[in-house]
Chain A
């Protein structure tokens, strides 16, 4: 009983061991190549599931089938217009031909360092042969002037990039992708993640930004003064208009009244001009005589005609 149990156990273990070394699984995200004494045998295995191989003599090497990351180191590169910038890129790639990949690079780590060499070089070439603005802009979009009426970017507002950020990245991708097939690698995408000024340049840019803002601020202030002067001018104009219009109207009213009065007087007094003149003269006497008046009358005056005895 005991002996048969041990035998059963041994057979079972041996069976499991044999099975383990003659079966392998391929996961959904894997591709596998099989080697025999280090030499690749058969084609790549990409169908997921359970697979068979010759036990003991064959080994399997699993490679990822997914898009894989590549994160570039930050590079200091001068642009064509001699501005020093940091460029930070990333890429996504996949193992398109695992057999070539396995032969040439063996594993991902060496693939990463090969990608470093190739992509960094191409980025350096492309960036160094274009102006900074090409690396920043990607379209000829016109800037809105903003509610502030900011015209500080008048020059750049109408800029039309020759290529622009996206196309520069595409250029790097196209160049780098050319050499990839021999490594069994396919580059899916390269993008510029970050572009920033190196510190010394950034300092200069800050100074420029400050002076630019000061200029804009100054313009707002003088614009305020100008508008104020304009309104004050309006006050003056309005004042003169209101006053003169009032004068015109008042004089017109007075004049009309004077004219009407004159007509009324004339109409009536024309009925007997002599009487009018007589009455008015009497009234005038009243008006012109007061206690400062010396009246010197000749005795020939009609008033005194009865004073003279000879009459």
Chain B
């Protein structure tokens, strides 16, 4: 049933599917002839309704041209009607969409973990000369959107290709004014900003109708063949830092110890000083005390002190020998008794 819904209308309810072709053709012609204007109008209406409705998606605007002439304002998203039979033509432009171009690599599988691909083509996109005539591989992306759909469509052919050409030229110009060291390390930020500004300027000059949202450097590397030597430089920097750190470590282990020892030495001296002075005071006080008493009875005290000392000292001596002036020749006695005890 759904396979032949037009039969009842076109054939007027006749069901003669078994008839020969010639007979059928004749009938249709005859029918068409009799209802010619009606058929024509119906057909025209069908085609008109099919070609006059169009829908603009939320991210798009539509440019409508009538006999090729642009009608002015872009048409905003929603369902719309236009003149049929190709009188009006609709060109839809995704103005809200963020578009992206990649240079030096291609994303083959975007996702949580995107996959990238590089080939000889992308390598010649990324390989460029730096300002000191060295070589670097610079990869970057440009994110942009269409800010003027009229320019985008009508002012320049192949906007995407032009954007790619201009981006490459701009990036090489900027990198050509930086040294390889700057390109690989400290200059990244500046290169991004300069290239983005220059690119926007050229897009405006070429009337591409594009707004450059972002230009972001991706991997920036020295070429494969020289990468090892660049790593060697990094290692050498690490080595230098290590040498310096080790030296400071040595400094830190030696100097505080020496300072401690110095402190010890000074404290020792202070101790000595205190002791020396205190002892002196003690000695002096003892002397003064002694003197005070001595003055009261000098002769007696003097003899007593003398004799007390002798009494203490003499018994300690190894030998005590008393010699009378009148007795001669005692010396041989000493030699004979050498080593013996009294």
A205 interface neighbour in B135, B166, B205, B280, Cβ under 8 Å: B135
Which of A97-105, A119-127, A217-225 is near enough to bind chain B? A217-225
> Contact between A193 and B185 (Cβ–Cβ < 8 Å)?
no
> Contact between B173 and A166 (Cβ–Cβ < 8 Å)?
yes
- B210-242, CB < 8 A from A: 222-223, 225-226, 228-230, 232-233, 235-237, 239-242
- B263-308, CB < 8 A from A: 263, 265-266, 268-270, 272-274, 276-277, 279-281, 283-284, 287-288, 290-291, 294-295, 302, 305-306
Given A8-B36, A253-B272, A293-B317, the answer on whether A224 and B129 have CB atoms closer than 8 Å is no
B177 interface neighbour in A64, A71, A137, Cβ under 8 Å: A137
Residue interface bits B160-190, CB-to-A below 8 A is 1, else 0: 0110011011001100111111100111000
Given A153-B181, A220-B236, the answer on whether A147 and B266 have CB atoms closer than 8 Å is no
The verdict on B320 contacting chain A, using a C-beta distance below 8 Å, is yes
The verdict on A174 contacting chain B, using a C-beta distance below 8 Å, is no
Instruction: State how many angstroms separate the Cβ of A153 from the closest Cβ of chain B.
Output: 4
Instruction: State how many angstroms separate the Cβ of A87 from the closest Cβ of chain B.
Output: 11
The verdict on A150 contacting chain B, using a C-beta distance below 8 Å, is yes
> Contact between A297 and B320 (Cβ–Cβ < 8 Å)?
yes
Given A150-B181, A195-B128, the answer on whether A133 and B270 have CB atoms closer than 8 Å is no
> Contact between B185 and A148 (Cβ–Cβ < 8 Å)?
yes
Which of A34-42, A177-185, A231-239 is near enough to bind chain B? A231-239
Residue interface bits A139-152, CB-to-B below 8 A is 1, else 0: 10101101110101
The verdict on A162 contacting chain B, using a C-beta distance below 8 Å, is no
Contacts of B319 in A (CB 8 A): 294-295
- A168-223, CB < 8 A from B: 188-189, 191-197, 202, 205-206, 209-210, 212-214, 216-221, 223
The verdict on A228 contacting chain B, using a C-beta distance below 8 Å, is yes
Residues of B contacting A: mostly: helix
Contacts of B266 in A (CB 8 A): 246, 249-250, 253
Instruction: State how many angstroms separate the Cβ of B35 from the closest Cβ of chain A.
Output: 9
Cα–Cα, bound, A129→B110 (Å): 47
Residue interface bits B135-164, CB-to-A below 8 A is 1, else 0: 100000000000000000111111001100
Given A157-B179, A194-B124, A271-B291, the answer on whether A257 and B276 have CB atoms closer than 8 Å is yes
> Contact between B129 and A136 (Cβ–Cβ < 8 Å)?
yes
> Contact between B274 and A292 (Cβ–Cβ < 8 Å)?
no
> Contact between A28 and B236 (Cβ–Cβ < 8 Å)?
no
Cα–Cα, bound, A181→B176 (Å): 33
Residue interface bits A60-101, CB-to-B below 8 A is 1, else 0: 000010111101000000000000000000101000000000
Can you name the residue of chain B whose Cβ is closest to the Cβ of A238?
B255
The verdict on A18 contacting chain B, using a C-beta distance below 8 Å, is no
Contacts of B116 in A (CB 8 A): none
- A226-256, CB < 8 A from B: 227-232, 234-235, 238-239, 242-243, 245-247, 249-251, 253-254, 256
Can you name the residue of chain A whose Cβ is closest to the Cβ of B267?
A250
> Contact between B236 and A193 (Cβ–Cβ < 8 Å)?
no
> Contact between A257 and B321 (Cβ–Cβ < 8 Å)?
no
Instruction: State how many angstroms separate the Cβ of A70 from the closest Cβ of chain B.
Output: 10
Given A191-B166, A256-B273, the answer on whether A250 and B30 have CB atoms closer than 8 Å is no
- Please tell me the number of chain A residues within 8 Å of chain B, measured between CB atoms: 125
A239 interface neighbour in B132, B258, B287, B291, Cβ under 8 Å: B258
Residue interface bits A247-278, CB-to-B below 8 A is 1, else 0: 10111011011101110110111011001101
> Contact between B272 and A254 (Cβ–Cβ < 8 Å)?
yes
Contacts of A163 in B (CB 8 A): none
Instruction: State how many angstroms separate the Cβ of A243 from the closest Cβ of chain B.
Output: 6
The verdict on B250 contacting chain A, using a C-beta distance below 8 Å, is yes
> Contact between A136 and B133 (Cβ–Cβ < 8 Å)?
yes
28 residue pairs A–B, Cβ–Cβ below 8 Å:
A8-B36, A29-B155, A48-B65, A50-B69, A90-B169, A136-B131, A138-B176, A141-B131, A148-B185, A148-B233, A192-B169, A209-B134, A209-B222, A209-B226, A212-B134, A231-B247, A238-B258, A243-B262, A250-B269, A256-B273, A262-B280, A276-B287, A278-B302, A286-B313, A291-B316, A291-B318, A292-B318, A304-B322
- The chain A residues found within 8 Å of chain B, CB to CB, are 1-2, 5-6, 8-9, 25-30, 47-50, 64, 66-69, 71, 90, 92, 132-133, 136-139, 141, 143-144, 146-148, 150, 152-153, 156-157, 159, 165-166, 188-189, 191-197, 202, 205-206, 209-210, 212-214, 216-221, 223-225, 227-232, 234-235, 238-239, 242-243, 245-247, 249-251, 253-254, 256-258, 260-262, 264-265, 267-269, 271-272, 275-276, 278-279, 282, 285-286, 289-300, 303-304, 307
Besides A9-B36, A69-B158, 18 other A-B contacts (C-beta < 8 A)? A66-B157, A92-B156, A92-B162, A143-B179, A146-B181, A148-B233, A165-B176, A194-B124, A194-B172, A213-B226, A246-B261, A258-B276, A261-B279, A268-B287, A272-B291, A275-B287, A279-B287, A293-B317
